[in-house]
Amino acid sequence: IVGGTGAVGRALVAELSKRDPSLDLEIVIPSRSASVSPVFEDSRVRLLQGDIFAPGFLLEHCQGARTLFLCFGLREYKANVWLEKWPAILRLSLDAAIQSGAGFVFADNLYAYGPGKVVADGERTTAFDEKTSKPGIRVALHRTLREEMNKPGAKVAVVGASDFFGPHCGHSSVLGSLVIEKIAMGGLSTPLGDPDVVHDYVYVPDLALVMVEISLRDDAWNQFWIAPTAVKGRTTRMIAQDVARLSGHEKVRMCRIPGTAFFLLRLMGLGMSEMKPWFTQPYQVDDSKTREILGILPTDYEECLKAEIARTLDESESAA
């Protein structure tokens, strides 16, 4: 699992650990420093210290693997960093999987499809430069992935997910950190963008589930999929109201961040200004292909919220 110490990677470990405990399974997670990596309860998890960008490293350690999962994330949310790092790690991971005979499953965002309504393997956006914008860079990655899918004997799958939330997401989840956690604690929520437009969200354990299921099915390879989406057709304000109700708060305290905030984030070097359309216009995801063909449904909406509220309160008590 390349990126196995992040939120999606840890969800993958949890999902794989649910499988038959007698299964002859080893989960290998590369990490620059094993000493600062999370502790995994499953004894079948092995942390492998090393540099995933080092030539030959992934290929060497992928020998004998059934599947290579790529759920890597970059701390720096800047297009120039993405342009340097993303094509490189995708190429290294693909080559390691292909040359070792492993399947390749990639946890992707949906930026390549542009803002608006997204369907699996739909039209990619042409509105962003492929050298200077994050959505454009993702379009270029999709082109590489499509080329590999079209090769004889390929076993490549891409699972796209809208903005996600769930265990271990921290500040990488705008819904979790800016809405659910704040309101569950009775605080002031400052959602990104317009809180009154519909925005769909994926629960991270659901993303992990579909990635594992795809890796086990012969009919799921060489396709673009969309993760089952737990939060559908709701505005951020509606979600906030449900969090307040479920956590026992009568009122929602919310402060809308003005649109100029995206410009200020760009000045701060946080690379968010180009993502403004995703958070100021309706953003809906069609996951029907995954539901109908793979038969996988998302976790119940309120069950997700209750789990996140409970986690937030538990973490608050532990920190007190």
Do residues 108 and 138 make contact, with C-beta atoms less than 8 angstroms apart?
A: yes
At 152, list the tokens: 């004889």
Q: How far is CA 253 from CA 195, 240, 312, in A?
A: 12, 9, 17
**Residue 102 has what pLDDT?**
97
Indicate if the alpha-carbon torsion angle 186, 165, 72, 263 is positive or negative: negative
Q: How far apart, in whole angstroms, are the C-alpha atoms of residue 157 and residue 193? A: 31
* Residues forming beta bridges with residue 68, ordered by sequence position: 104
The residue among 64, 34, 73, 66 whose CA lies nearest residue 50 is: 34
Do residues 189 and 255 make contact, with C-beta atoms less than 8 angstroms apart?
A: yes
**Residue 39 has what pLDDT?**
77
What contacts 312, CB < 8 A, 6 or more positions away? 180, 181, 184, 185
Q: How far apart, in whole angstroms, are the C-alpha atoms of residue 4 and residue 2? A: 5
**Residue 296 has what pLDDT?**
97
Q: How far apart, in whole angstroms, are the C-alpha atoms of residue 271 and residue 263? A: 9
**Residue 22 has what pLDDT?**
67
Do residues 231 and 246 make contact, with C-beta atoms less than 8 angstroms apart?
A: no
With a cut of 70, list the residues of the chain below it in pLDDT.
20-22, 34-36, 257-273, 320
pTM confidence score: 0.93
DSSP string of the chain, one letter each residue: -BTTTSHHHHHHHHHHHTS-TTS---EEEEES-GGGSPPPS-TTEEEEES-TTSTTHHHHHTTT-SEEEE----S---HHHHHHHHHHHHHHHHHHHHHHT-EEEEEE-SGGG-SSEEETT-PPP-SS-TTT-HHHHHHHHHHHHHHHHTSTT--EEEEE--SEE-TT-GGG-HHIIIIIHHHHTT--B--SS-TTSBB-BEEHHHHHHHHHHHHT-GGGSSEEEE---SB-S-BHHHHHHHHHHHTT-SS--B-PPPTHHHHHHHHTT---GGGHHHHHS-BEEE-HHIIIII---PPPHHHHHHHHHHHHHHHHHHH-
What's phi and psi for 281, nearest 5 deg? -125, 155
* Helices 79-100 & 134-149 angle (0-180, nearest 10): 10
**Residue 297 has what pLDDT?**
97
Q: How far is CA 15 from CA 28, 114, 296, in A?
A: 14, 30, 14
**Residue 267 has what pLDDT?**
43
Residues 214, 146, 172, 176, Cα dihedral to 10°: -50
